[in-house]
Amino acid sequence: MGAQRRFRVWGAGLLAAGLVVAFSLRSPAVDGGIPSRPHPLPPTLEQWGDPTAGDYFDEIEVPPFGYLIWSRWPVRVYVERREDDPSQNWRETVLAAVMEWDAYVPLEITGDRDRADIRIFRRRPPLKPGHLRARSGETRYRLLTRTTETGSRLLTHQFTILLSPTQTGPYVASVARHEFGHALGIWGHSPEETDVMYFAQVREPPPISPRDVNTLRRIYQQPTQLGWPLASADGPPSESGSALGDATSMNFDRRRTPKVYKIDR
């Protein structure tokens, strides 16, 4: 809180609204007819409780199809392996920061970036027109459909996180920890700098706070259309034209990517 504490805004410009809608194409998949219901909480979140800490749930944006909730465990995470990072220091740092969230939402690291739910790359986020300021990270998602083993189609999503190579020292972990919070569904920012999801980067990055977890828990108690069948709104499953996937029965149908949303920066 001290006046000497410098901080940088996480991204270009002020993030009062918190969100930037990048593209807004029509979305044939998100229609009426898909139920909007809560999913069971992950057991780790179910058991969590710190009612005295409060939360910042009111700051969370709600997309038209409901909250950005994962309902299939573990959530699969891909972290890029870079040739220019021979000792894999960057990757190890990012993995460690990401796995701090595993205490609340079950995670699994995968080498298959196409089938990952959340994909993390060491790349400079694209500059926005009119904003020349470099950004530390960016998180975006798109909507997909997934065909299950039984042939039903679910509305689902996939996140991509870009972490800027310009970040060094403790900021590598702090940006990764923050962006990953967005990808778990915290689509907004905290007004308090003791939270990971504070809207600005602080000199001494905090760990995941009880307020962060309380907020995450409340989000996961909310209804969403993600993870529920869309057959009634989107035709029979055979229309996907996609074969069954591997043992994990994943099958992203990329032709139906209707929207991309970004946060941060």
Using CB under 5 A, list all residues that contact Zn ion.
Answer: 264
Q: Which amino acid is at 194?
A: T
Minimal distance, residue 240 CB to Zn ion, in Å: 33
> Which one, 65 or 199, has the nearer CB to Zn ion?
199
| DSSP at 229 | B
Closest residue to Zn ion, judged by C-beta, is 264
CB atoms within 10 A of CB 114: 11
Taking the least distance from each CB to Zn ion, the nearer of 117 and 264 is 264
The side-by-side arrangement of strands in the sheet containing 260-263 is 19-20, 260-263, 137-147, 153-163, 118-122, 75-79, 107-109
By beta-carbon proximity to Zn ion, the closer residue of 212 and 234 is 212
Q: How far is the CB of 181 from Zn ion (least distance, A)?
A: 8
CB of 189 to Zn ion, least distance (A): 5
Residue 139 CB, nearest distance to Zn ion (Å)? 7
Q: H or E stretch including 157? A: strand 153-163
Q: How far apart are CA 57 and CA 4, in angstroms?
A: 29
Least Cα distance to 155 among 90, 222, 67, 89 occurs for 67
- Nearer Cβ to Zn ion (234/264): 264
